[in-house]
Amino acid sequence: MPDRNPIWADLTPDELEFQYNPQKAFPDFAASRVDREPANKAALESLVQHRDIAYGDHPLHKLDIYPANSDRIAPVHLFYHGGYWRSQDKENFAYIAGMLVEQGITTVIANYELCPASTLDGVANSALSALEWVHRNIADYGGNPNDVTISGHSAGAHLVAEALAADWQARGIDASFIKGAVAVSGIYDPAPAMLTSVNEQLRLTPGIIERHNVEKRPLHARCRVSLFAGGLEPWHWIDQTYRYAHHLHRSGITAEVHILPEYGHFDIITPFKDPHSILGRALLAGSSQS
């Protein structure tokens, strides 16, 4: 049942936009991508890579694989980009592979279906299909299918939570292949997004929201989880991280929660490229390389 008294119930339309539409809270959002571009360009030009591997028939069912600099079977990390389930592309996040590959971790950056061409049902299902493909096929690229960690930013963090809640047994897979998860500045209950201008593209409905509210769904994958949010983000956005952490704790999973005071919504993923940053260490912590 929907929450009868959600914390966003008394917000004005302008307040809803500020609290639940990060581009309104951070109008200079594009600057963070510009700052990351040199590292991203270097990764695309220098790393060994297998680009646009299809994991399904949809045009966006594609992923990029960056094999580890390792002579042994490598642990694997899969990253889901953000973009409020409606934008962005895997090519803009190659810099994440740059750090992980050097640490001996085969890295996968996945695309997935986007709104409005697809609904959130299609977005989530395609993200899970990408992870299933990795488990079933990554051995062909030198990766360990039973040593997989996952991370995501913003909408991608929601997809990480979808992976933890997925019924992997129904897919014929033991959920223990997921060894760790890092979710950064996530939206875990889609309900407030339906009240913002973003819903013109998301096309959320009460039924879709109920199916994808990961603050309430049971957990099937049980692994180390680290949650992050930026201290400069609007309070309602930060609150989502605490609410999801509470859900994990109620489910018997102890999640580490980190609020990084100097970061906002869009620059918080910049430290992914640094293995010594708190975010970099979290990415490495769940794998057998740690």
Q: Which residue has the tokens 């307040």?
A: 15
Residues 189, 240: Cα–Cα separation, whole Å: 8
Query: For the packed helices 235-250 and 13-20, what is the interaxial angle rounded to 10 degrees?
Result: 60
Pairing mode, strands 106-110 and 50-54: unpaired
With a CB cutoff of 8 Å and minimum separation 6, the contacts of 196 are 16, 17, 20, 21
The pLDDT, as a whole number, for residue 5 is 79
The H or E element spanning position 220 is none
Reported confidence tier of residue 1, pLDDT bands at 50, 70, 90 = very low
End-to-end CA separation in angstroms for the chain: 41
pLDDT per residue over 62-98, tens digit each?
A: 999 999 988 899 999 999 999 999 999 999 999 999 9
Percent above pLDDT 70 for the chain: 97
Tokens matching residue 143: 């990766």
pLDDT per residue over 198-240, tens digit each?
A: 999 999 999 999 999 999 999 999 999 999 999 999 999 999 9
Dihedral pair phi/psi, residue 186, rounded to 5°:
-85, 160
Instruction: Give the residue-averaged pLDDT of 186-193.
Output: 98
The pLDDT, as a whole number, for residue 290 is 47
With a CB cutoff of 8 Å and minimum separation 6, the contacts of 280 are 99, 271, 272, 273, 274
The pLDDT, as a whole number, for residue 71 is 82
Tokens matching residue 216: 């309430």
- 287 pLDDT exceeds 70? no
Residue ranges of E strands in 25-69 = 50-54, 62-66
- Look up the pTM and report it: 0.96
Instruction: Give the residue-averaged pLDDT of 54-68.
Output: 98
Domains contained in the chain, CATH given: 13-285 (3.40.50.1820)
